[in-house]
A and B are shown apart, each in its own frame.
Chain A
Amino acid sequence: MKSPCRVREHLSRRAFLKASLSVGGAAVANWGGLFNSTSIAAEAKKQGMRCILLWMNGGASQIDTFDMKPGRPTGGPFRPISTNVTGTQVCEYLPKLAQQTDKLAIIRSMVTSEPDHPGGITSMHIGYRPEVTIAHPELGAVIAKYHGKPDADLPTFIRMGPTGNGGAGFLGPEYQPFSIGRDGRLPQFSDPYASAESEQRRGDLLRVIEDGFTQENKADPFGAHRLAKEKAWKLLKSKGIFDVTKDWPKAKERYGDSDFGRGCFLARKLVEAGVPFVEVGHDNYDSHADNFVCHKANMNQLDPAWSTLLLDLQERGLLEKTLVVWMGEVGRTPYINNRAGRDHYIRAWSIVLAGGGVKGGLTYGETDIDGKTVKDKPVTEGDLFATIYSALGISPRTKHMVGTRPITVAPERSVAVTDILS
């Protein structure tokens, strides 16, 4: 059968072709939609979209950031300040971001299902509740698939700091995350001892062996092994981009001198270079005690990094192609516990979108006067992912066959928040 695939798509399709089997309750992957007859990227309604996920590990407090309740028992000591959007206020420790609020779509009505860290980290990366039998891919893997260039030298799903735990799931090894340090440093053993010529010679020899072996040995794991080796070589070719030591002294004045700031700066460089998905982790918001000390310190790093990222993207004309997502795995309780802490809370919390595919300068949904319940327009994690995918031109109903089950990228019953889509 003839197909309009690019050569590379074709190769990987063959390499990862798997029988469709449903075994007991457990569905076996066939590496998802690699069977599709049209080229993958063409399935997305928009081309070349990117996404940066700013991951607030541990779960940031909505009441101390974007859904403030001044004067209420749940309000805490922080004061709200005005922003460049009339009527929208944010925390006093986000002054720079207050000047970029016209770029933000603030959702104040998140209602999610996983109250604890591991489950929350999974579900807020995959858009589904965790399931034993189906390995849903993370946001980054889906975006890598639909907006990544298959022949790119750089990885298409890059993660700074160890946060998400779902990986590529049933999308298969091609879309596995490439994890680097929280400060953007490459993993151990990224510095070659071999000279370029030596690397070339031994690589050529390896290809001789692989070519002979592949002729007769067709099993998938061999292909996965070779793919990973090719990726390692490609990475070495392009690793210069990860080295920000030269630009950082100047950039840190604007991004703030923190690992997170450096991560945001590198994320900007990576999306500029065409990487479709970058996650930057920010630790640690899990403030069961001393919530306000913790959040003040975190916001001091968050504010310059995030606001500068948005400005830089805008200056480079990248903001309309790049969706910046700010979220963590849970929100935090409205009530303040006896250690001045706030615990996990999933019944009314906030996340923020900006840039590609979404309108700026608006808030969506509302909580009650104390921030305990959502008064209006609840948004589940599934709805959020449907929104994110829609913003990026990927239909939330895009299906992958997992065994004999068609699985949509966002849950079946989820609904995109069209009010904030641009």
Chain B
Amino acid sequence: MFSLRHLLLLSAASLGLFLPASVRADEKPFRQTIDQEIRAAWQRENVKPAPRSSDAEFLRRIYLDLVGNIPTYEETQQFLQDADEHKRAKLIDRLLDDPRFARQQAAYWDLTIFGRSPPGGEVTRRRDVFQKWLEDKFAKNEPYDVWVKEILNAEGSTAEVGPAMFYAQFRNQPEEAAMAVSRLFLGTQLQCARCHDHPFDKWQQLDFYGMAGFFARLVFVESGNANQRVMLVGEKRTGEVMFSGPVTEQVPGKKGTPVKAKFLGGTPLDEPAIPAGFKDFEIKGAKAIPKPDFSRKEKLAEWVVAPENPYFAKAVANRVWAQYMGRGLVHLVDNLSDKNPPSHPELFDLLSQELKAKKYDLKWLVRELVNSETYQLSGRGESTDAAPRWFERARVRPLTAEEIMASLRQATLHDLTVKPGDKTPNVGSEYFMRYFGEPLNGRGDFQASLNEHLFLNNSTNLRQMIQAKKGNLADMLATSKEPVEERVERLFLTALNRQPRAVEKERFAAHLNTAGQKPEVLVEEAIWALLNSAEFRFNH
């Protein structure tokens, strides 16, 4: 395996496809390496790529990906009319410095880590402190390894210490914590090894319980009021995970033996013996949890982010790649395994090496990714995959519930109807969460929901945004004295960030001129149509 890989690397290098990272890094931006590697695979696989995206396609895509909202009418017009050949790179730089970038990244990672319904009940339902903490990390562009280490080392109250929320999901469930840490930060699926040695992969049950051992000593004290439950997270000096063999051999009363904490695919943890006669503190009713003289989670945190950890850099490189490119170089994104090789092995290695060399600067990585020609391909083409394997066409991803809400407000100019000083109205976020919160099934495919469309068709939540109200788009279009074609243009540029096609212009103009109907009714119908399109529903 190794020698074959070696040969491939050598031959690739001799063909001049790429050079070692140390040489290359000074010579050209990484985005070019990406494009070279992707192109080489197209040739090898005989795949025909899509053309470059139009400016309008790119504009909407990059806004949604970097700041989680569509651009305004003015931003759209300005960008489409800009003749500067570097306007895409300049826009990317501007959006990366936008405060919304940090918020969008925090939202992405928060959702990655917790999902829509995390374990932990009321404690983990609202995560403002964690989200603010994470947003701050992205605003400062703090290296990924630094903040991950903070998460794994977290202790204290979820009301005060942002990262403490992570472990609050896993109260008294060291096995769940082991699976989550392995999956999220090491890109490794351990769940099969919980009940039996993994059938396909190298993981054995003892690997699983060895990892769980690092979390066996976490302790939790719950407090707070009905409004917000709070978890105090800490660690004891004693406590072990018990292992009793394959699940099929379990019988009632079988207790099992304690398992030593062991690094995944590595060595057992070297830890000082517990002093004779040592008695751990009593957690019942504790207001604070004293630090033990030896901390397992601290050792784990050090090992996870250590430069020699074989999984850490690969896992994050693959995840961020997938965030922007639609699928991981290893797919599924957190299933790094010898049995599941990357689609582009050289690129995958270079990507993780380079990210490590750049000290886990995620903003650098994002900038390189979205500046690449690969990212900027059109979404048009014959491939029917949401995210094509060879990246020959832009990926299609459903907007998140948050992106939909933000984009609907933006597209309808809803917030202009709110008087200055008024509280931002809730447009029905609980419904948006319910109907748009989990658009993908367990395998990452979009699952269309009938309920989503019933909501869009019939709810007053959307209607309040598309009915004419002083200051909003419907009002503007209904009362405008502009020629009808110009009003149609404004409608399309505001809601879909592009010019209408000829047939659209004609049909929508005819619609707005329908005899015997009130203009505000016709305008409402027209806006509804745009917001219900697949074009609006997805980032493409």
Residues of chain A whose beta carbon lies under 8 Å from any beta carbon of chain B = 14-15, 17-19, 21, 23-26, 28-29, 132, 135, 155, 173, 176, 178, 187-194, 198-199, 201-203, 205-206, 208-210, 212-213, 216-222, 224-229, 231-233, 235-236
Contacts and interface: CB of A to CB of B under 8 A. Distances in A.
Interface string B521-540: 11001101110111101101
B506 to A, nearest CB: 9
Contact of A178 (B450, B507, B535): B450
Contacts of A189: 451, 454-455, 457-459
A100 B448 CA distance: 42
A19 B390 CA distance: 12
Nearest to A195: B521
Given A189-B455, A201-B514, A220-B386, 10 more contacts: A24-B337, A26-B332, A187-B451, A189-B459, A217-B535, A218-B383, A222-B396, A224-B446, A235-B450, A235-B454
Which of under 10, 10 to 19, 20 to 34, or 35 or more describes the interface residues of B? 35 or more
Nearest to B507: A208
A401 to B, nearest CB: 15
Given A23-B331, A25-B200, A192-B458, A212 B503 contact: yes
Contacts of B331: 23
A218 B382 contact: yes
Most buried by A among B201, B463, B525, B538: B525
Contacts of A227: 448
A229 B447 contact: no
Given A198-B525, A228-B449, A232-B453, A18 B535 contact: no
B540 A24 contact: no
A205 B386 contact: no
Contact of A221 (B398, B503, B526, B529): B398
Interface string B374-411: 00000111111110010000001010000000000000
B381 A205 contact: no
A19 to B, nearest CB: 6
Given A220-B386, A222-B538, A227-B448, A210 B533 contact: yes
Nearest to A229: B453
Interface in B20-43: none
B443 interface: yes
Contacts of B384: 14-15, 17-18, 218-220
A121 B214 CA distance: 34
B332 A23 contact: yes
A178 B453 CA distance: 13
A190 B458 CA distance: 7
Interface string B103-136: 0000000000000000000000000000000000
A226 to B, nearest CB: 6
A19 B442 CA distance: 18
Given A19-B389, A189-B458, A205-B511, A176 B529 contact: no
A195 to B, nearest CB: 9
A210 B501 CA distance: 12
Given A202-B528, A205-B525, A217 B533 contact: no
Most buried by B among A14, A173, A233, A236: A173
Interface string B85-100: 0000000000000000
Contacts of A216: 380
Most buried by B among A15, A23, A199, A210: A23
Contacts of A135: 441-443
A408 B188 CA distance: 30
A209 B533 contact: yes
Closest 4 A-B residue pairs measured CB to CB?
A: A24-B340, A228-B448, A232-B453, A205-B529
27 contacts: A15-B384, A19-B389, A24-B200, A26-B332, A29-B443, A29-B445, A189-B455, A198-B521, A202-B525, A202-B529, A202-B532, A203-B529, A205-B508, A205-B525, A208-B507, A209-B529, A209-B535, A213-B533, A217-B534, A219-B384, A220-B384, A220-B386, A220-B445, A221-B386, A226-B534, A228-B452, A231-B453
Interface string B349-386: 00000000000000000000000000000011111111
B242 interface: no
Contacts of B199: 25
B427 interface: no
B538 A212 contact: no
A229 B532 contact: yes
Most buried by B among A21, A198, A206, A235: A206
Contacts of A220: 384-386, 445-446
Contacts of A188: 451, 454-455
A109 B41 CA distance: 57
Given A24-B200, A209-B529, A221 B458 contact: no
A155 B223 CA distance: 47
Contacts of A29: 443, 445
Nearest to A21: B389
Contacts of B532: 202, 206, 229
A221 B447 CA distance: 8
Contact of B443 (A26, A191, A217, A222): A26
B379 A232 contact: no
A164 to B, nearest CB: 15
Contacts of B540: 217, 219
A235 B398 CA distance: 24
A219 B447 contact: no
Contacts of B192: 25, 132
A24 B328 CA distance: 13
A206 B446 contact: no
B254 interface: no
Contacts of B172: none
A25 B533 contact: no
A119 to B, nearest CB: 13
Contacts of A203: 529
Nearest to A27: B443
A77 to B, nearest CB: 30
B75 interface: no
A187 B339 CA distance: 44
B385 A18 contact: yes
Given A24-B332, A187-B451, A225 B380 contact: no
